[in-house]
Structure 1
């Protein structure tokens, strides 16, 4: 059957969040605000093979709900997602679209797919929303997971769910979390009983520019006219810019080992930064670093998939010098 091409650019919202954060509750609240005469569509993704969440959404006329089961539409093959989305758009011609990825998904990867030129004439991306369970903010083993952090970093709007169940320790943790992500210039909302007005999240998507490139010292091997190779493996460095802030990061193989005290000295000597976070394989074991201007925290950490560091600044920085100093802390003899 030939699919029809949508005749309009559909406002599209991604509602992300960790497992059990309250995405579907929020989504129901938003869907209830549909004007009469409009058709709203929802594309849901569940990691397992049995769909449940679809049955929790409106089943009445004016709503079109489609589930994509098995795997994650954020990071698995793009083809199933592209087919499902194309069919949903062409068959229902919606006035508004909501996408709810699995709680185990990386929304930044999904957003990267949906902002490609292919989709720009069909969908109009709105601000990416990440839902956070406010009643669990005091659980450090929960909020310190890499996936949790990835979802927060991708968010333009952070919605705090279950606010009515938050304790004093949760409120304190929320303030710390907002301070930690200050450089990402996000909007934080705390609706009561999951009730949020659509107008509060119906904002244009503001993209983050990100360049993943070879290490700066490796780039010097290329002439000014030659294109840098596409990065598919470690090591590499990247720079993200948004709202006047820059986040520079590096990732190295987990087999690289660094001198702990040289690394600590280097990080403590940095000036005019807003945030430094990293995890390294050192001669003192795996260590994590979590620096803000008021507190320098470092501690032992479990083995990570790689060595990594991010530095958030609001001023120009000589990243080549920092990278040279960082690599000088390496003590192993392997070359990969």
Structure 2
């Protein structure tokens, strides 16, 4: 499903399926071809998420067809250097692959680092990455545009086959909202579970009760937008805590959680935060 901002000339298209290694075949190519045809972009950004396999994506983009259409620029990998203290990351193949294929590694959240964290990232990239991999640091994900410019030094051979285990089920965002006003979607892979909900805009949440619930969630990541009695708010939960930002509008309430294990009671607790239905 695509989104188009006429004013900013930005097109966004989601790719259905699980991890990007699964969808680097036909689903990604269909979405990519549609996007190239409709948007005719000057620049295309592909973000495979923290659980994605960029090598497989690069292999698809290295086929003869795409070489005639696209000029592959730098691969950027965003890393929180503090994660290097956690063996769940340093021993994870996907985490290391994302560093190994990077032209530039961006050490994000620099303002939250302790003494020595930045140096540890530089040393780790020197060990796992390529000899010419550049390391830069950023706060709040602000990266100079110049870091994206220039051809990539990473060249992957086109794939001979794909291991398709992605399902043909539609994106959760495309499922029609049932009369009860709740849609639930689940996925898993790479040792993590993903679970999300959509709530119809008629369901209004108690903001105070909601924040108490969200701040207690134990997860690698949680992102959400909620319609509350005080307005519309976006929420982002990381190991650094819960952040809240007021938004102008949204189509409906949405929340997604990524964790090694998701609490079975979350849905019940979310429903208990609903105070009204318009």
- Give the TM-score normalised by the residue count of structure 2: 0.51
In structure 2, which of residues 57, 70, 73 is the aligned counterpart of residue 123 of structure 1? 70
Assess if the C-alpha contact under 8 Å between 1:138 and 1:169 holds in 2.
no
Change (3 A) 1:231 1:65: closer
Partner of residue 103, structure 1: 50
Whether 2:22 is the aligned partner of 1:75: answer yes
Could you say if the C-alpha distance between residues 91 and 58 of structure 1 is closer, same or farther in structure 2, counting changes exceeding 3 Å?
Answer: closer
SS at match of 1:159: strand
Deviation at 1:59, TM superposition (A): 8.0
CA distance in 1, matches of 2:78, 2:99: 9
- Per the TM alignment, residue 194 of structure 1 is displaced from its structure 2 partner at its CA by 1.8
Aligned residues: 162
Q: Is the 8 A contact 1:157 1:188 kept in 2?
A: yes
Superposed CA RMSD: 3.1
Tell me how far apart the structure 1 counterparts of residues 157 and 37 of structure 2 sit (CA, whole Å).
32
Q: How does 1:66-215 map to 2 (within 5 A)?
A: 66-76=13-23, 78-181=25-128, 183-208=130-155
CA distance in 1, matches of 2:42, 2:107: 27
The CA deviation string for residues 236-259 of structure 1, in whole angstroms up to 9 with x for no partner, is: xxxxxxxxxxxxxxxxxxxxxxxx
Q: CA deviation at 1:209?
A: 6.5
Q: Which residue of 2 aligns with 1:224?
A: none
Change (3 A) 1:121 1:189: same
Aligned to 1:10: none
Q: CA deviation at 1:169?
A: 4.5
**Structure 2 contact 100–129 (Cα < 8 Å) conserved:** no
Secondary structure of the residue that 1:104 maps to in structure 2?
coil
Q: Which protein shows a greater Rg?
A: 1
Conservation of the 8 A alpha-carbon contact between 2:20 and 2:57: yes
Deviation string for 1:95-144 (max 9, x for gaps)?
11111113211101100110111111211110111111123232233222
Distance of 2:8 and 2:66 partners within structure 1: 27
Matched-pair contact (CA < 8 Å) for 2:75–2:103: yes
Contact 1:135 1:163 in 2 (8 A): no
Q: Give secondary structure in 2 for the equivalent of 1:171.
A: helix
Q: Is the 8 A contact 1:75 1:110 kept in 2?
A: no
Paired residue secondary structure (1:206)? coil
- Structure 2: give runs of 5+ residues left out of the alignment: 163-278
C-alpha distance after superposition, 1:251-276 (max 9, x if no partner): xxxxxxxxxxxxxxxxxxxxxxxxxx
Q: Relative to 1, partners in 2 of residues 1:208 and 1:153: Cα closer, same or farther, differing over 3 Å?
A: same
**Where do residues 1-336 of structure 1 align in structure 2 (5 Å cutoff)?**
60-76=7-23, 78-181=25-128, 183-208=130-155
2:202 aligned residue: none
Shift of 1:171: 3.0
1:135, 1:162 within 8 Å by CA — same for their partners in 2?
no
Structure 1 residues 58 and 164, CA, compared in 2 at 3 Å: closer, same or farther? farther
Q: Distance in 1 between matches of 2:81 and 2:113?
A: 6
CA contact (8 A) 1:127 1:203 kept: yes
For the residue of structure 1 that corresponds to 2:14, the secondary structure is strand
Inter-partner Cα distance in structure 1 for 2:22 and 2:119? 33
Q: Distance in 1 between matches of 2:12 and 2:70?
A: 17
TM-score by length of 1: 0.43
